[in-house]
Amino acid sequence: MPQPKSTQVNKPFLADFLWGAATAAQQVEGGLDNDWSAWETSVSKELASGAKARLKGVVPDWDAIKEEAEDTNNYVSRKSADHYNRYEEDFDLLKSIGCNSYRFSIEWSRIEPKRGEYDSKALDHYEAMVDALIERSIKPMITLHHFTNPTWLEEYGGWHGENIVDIFTNFSEVVARRLANKVDYWCTINEPGSYLLQRYLGGGAWPEWPKIEMNPVRGYSYIKNVVKTHKESRRVIKNTNPGAKVGIAHGLIDFQLGRLDPVSWLFKKQLEFIPDKYILNRVKHDMDFIGVNYYMRMLVKASFSHPANWALKNTGQDILNDMGWGIYPDGIYNVTQKLNRYNLPLIVTENGIPDALDTKRAKFISDHIEALFRSHKDGADIRGYFYWSLLDNYEWSEGFWPKFGLASVDRRTMERTLKPSAQEYSKLIKEYS
């Protein structure tokens, strides 16, 4: 594993470094009608009643989250953070923090509610969002696919079907024709590795997912389609804006050996090999940057239990976030150093912590930026950092109880309040700029 080398800090990153925060439509917008929203009510009861068995002993403070985690309403996104209607207010928050960029996703089911029928009002809405950002001198970064699909996609074979490349390219083209002349930064797809694990390999970071199946063959078709789709989608964006920077937001975990034995070693190699060999290697000539979503390291320890339990989210000694993941800032150094071999600019498209009391977030951000800065000094071409997330939001099948936001949201009044850690982020932006 590459080790941190230099420790020199307080020298700026590049002048046009992107300092931002990120969100995704399903997690903040509210009022959605897609495959996820159609499904979430069907599992909310089961997730609420299974919360204790799933989370007690895993999270550091079960009593603190119990009330929300055992409430069925926690698991249904509904109005979410109402970002669809309150985006101007949210962009003012971004501005007050000192961010010069914002990553958000365009909700495909709003743009194409029926196959081949595009909604110009939804396009107007996203264009208004882009304009509102530009007015505030905040650069938009658009994600075209952040896990959710229109409900009709399943009839056409979903992401493992043959039609997806054309279908998604058409959607990308409609969005690009409207927005690419105003938007320079694009992520075609968010965390294909997470989608592969959750949807096709029967497990992953979240307890549930629509249409989970253990089907490596379909999983492989999904990955092949992601690669083709990314390339086509990038092509149509660049047709409108040749200078656009287009990448994939890639989920990266710093895998480390938890035990020195051949089985653990092989398993770790396999975990690293799949995203590298099947995703990054296949798109490396069609990327303007690699998006890095980094949250944690995992310790690989083979045992007699199911292999799904061989990668541990903490060492037993780590300080934990509210979801029980060990906090490990050096991991952002390690993953960005390893990506150097692709010789591409890197943008941290997500890095964040669920921390309801906001007692760990300021240090989390500061330590991760410091480690990222070391990596930059040691040769990684780092061009941006987006904290996940701007707002407390809907964390997929864990619902609303994990609080990742720089701002809290009162779900009754929708009032936003910046947390003290947002001030710390603000200071760091100034310090490193």
Residues that bind ligand IFM (CB under 6 A): 24, 27, 191, 205, 293, 350, 388, 395
Helix (H, G, I), strand (E, B) or coil at 357: coil
Token pair of 234 as six digits: 């990038």
Token pair of 185 as six digits: 């930064």
| Residue 338 parent element (H or E) | helix 330-339
Cβ atoms of 314 and 325 closer than 8 Å: yes
Nearer residue to ligand IFM within complex by CB, 293 or 421: 293
Nearer residue to ligand IFM within complex by CB, 219 or 352: 352
Cβ atoms of 212 and 168 closer than 8 Å: no
Closest CA to 168 of 180, 153, 181, 183: 153
Nearer residue to ligand IFM within complex by CB, 165 or 197: 197
Least spacing, CB of residue 205 vs ligand IFM, in Å: 6
Rounded CA-CA distance 57/60 in Å is 7
Nearer residue to ligand IFM within complex by CB, 236 or 422: 422
Tokens 């952040």, located at residue = 146
Least spacing, CB of residue 298 vs ligand IFM, in Å: 14
Least spacing, CB of residue 197 vs ligand IFM, in Å: 12
Rounded CA-CA distance 316/326 in Å is 8
Q: Which residues, in sequence order, are CB contacts of 195 under 8 Å at separation 6+?
A: 147, 159, 222
Least spacing, CB of residue 158 vs ligand IFM, in Å: 19
* Distance (Å) of CA 228 to CA 87, 91, 279, 288: 33, 34, 10, 16
CA-CA-CA-CA torsion sign (163, 169, 175, 178): negative
Nearer residue to ligand IFM within complex by CB, 147 or 171: 147
- At CA 264, angle to CA 258 and CA 268, rounded to 5? 90
Rounded CA-CA distance 405/361 in Å is 9
Least spacing, CB of residue 352 vs ligand IFM, in Å: 7
Tokens 């037993």, located at residue = 316
Least spacing, CB of residue 217 vs ligand IFM, in Å: 25
Least spacing, CB of residue 30 vs ligand IFM, in Å: 16
Rounded CA-CA distance 249/307 in Å is 26
Nearer residue to ligand IFM within complex by CB, 140 or 193: 193
Nearer residue to ligand IFM within complex by CB, 184 or 350: 350
Least spacing, CB of residue 22 vs ligand IFM, in Å: 8
**What letters, b where the CB count within 10 A reaches 16 and e where it falls short, cover 66-84?**
bebbbeeebbbbeebbbbb
Q: Which residues, in sequence order, are CB contacts of 157 under 8 Å at separation 6+?
A: 163, 164
Least spacing, CB of residue 193 vs ligand IFM, in Å: 11
Nearer residue to ligand IFM within complex by CB, 178 or 313: 313
The letter for the amino acid at 405 is G
Least spacing, CB of residue 164 vs ligand IFM, in Å: 21
Rounded CA-CA distance 246/233 in Å is 9
Nearer residue to ligand IFM within complex by CB, 24 or 335: 24
| Residue 361 parent element (H or E) | helix 361-377
Nearer residue to ligand IFM within complex by CB, 25 or 43: 25
